[in-house]
Structure 1
Amino acid sequence: MTDLSRMQGFADSAIPALEGRFFRPPLPEGYVARARLCQRLDAGLSGRLLLICAPAGFGKSSLAVEFCQGLPDQWQNIWLGLSARDSDPGRFLERLLASLQQFFPQLGAQAMGLLKMRQRHQPFVFEEWLEGLLDELAMHLMLSKPLLLVLDDYHLAQGPVLDRCLQFFLNHLPVGLVVMVTSRQRPDWHLARLRLSRQLLEIGEQDLRLTHAESIAVLDQPGRTLDSETLHSLIVRSEGWVAGLRFWLLAAAEAGDGNALSQALRGSEVLIREYLLEEVIDCLPADVQAFLYDTACLERFCFELCDAARDSHDSENMLRYLKAHQVFLVPLDEQGRWFR
Structure 2
Amino acid sequence: MTTAVLLKQVSRHFGLIKALDNIDLEVGPGEFFAMLGPSGSGKTTCLRLIAGFEQPTSGRIEIFGEGVEGVPPYRRNVNTVFQDYALFPHMNVLENVCYPLMLKKLDKATQRREAEAALELVKLGGYGGRRPGELSGGQRQRVALARAIINKPKVLLLDEPLGALDLKLREQMQEELKALQKTLGITFIFVTHDQGEALSMADRIAVFDQGRVMQVGTPEEIYRRPQSRFVADFVGSSNVMAPAFVERIVGEKRWASLRPEAVRVSAAGGAAAALTGTVVAKSYLGSTTRLAIDLDGTRIHAAVPSGDNVPAEGARVSLEFDRDALHLMENEG
* Higher-helix-fraction structure: 1
* Higher-strand-fraction structure: 2
TM-score > 0.5, shorter chain as reference: no
Scaled to the shorter chain, the TM-score interval is 0.3 to 0.5
| Structure with greater Cα Rg | 2
Q: Which structure has more RCO (C-alpha within 8 Å, separation ≥ 6)?
A: 1
Question: Normalising to structure 1: TM-score of the pair?
Answer: 0.38
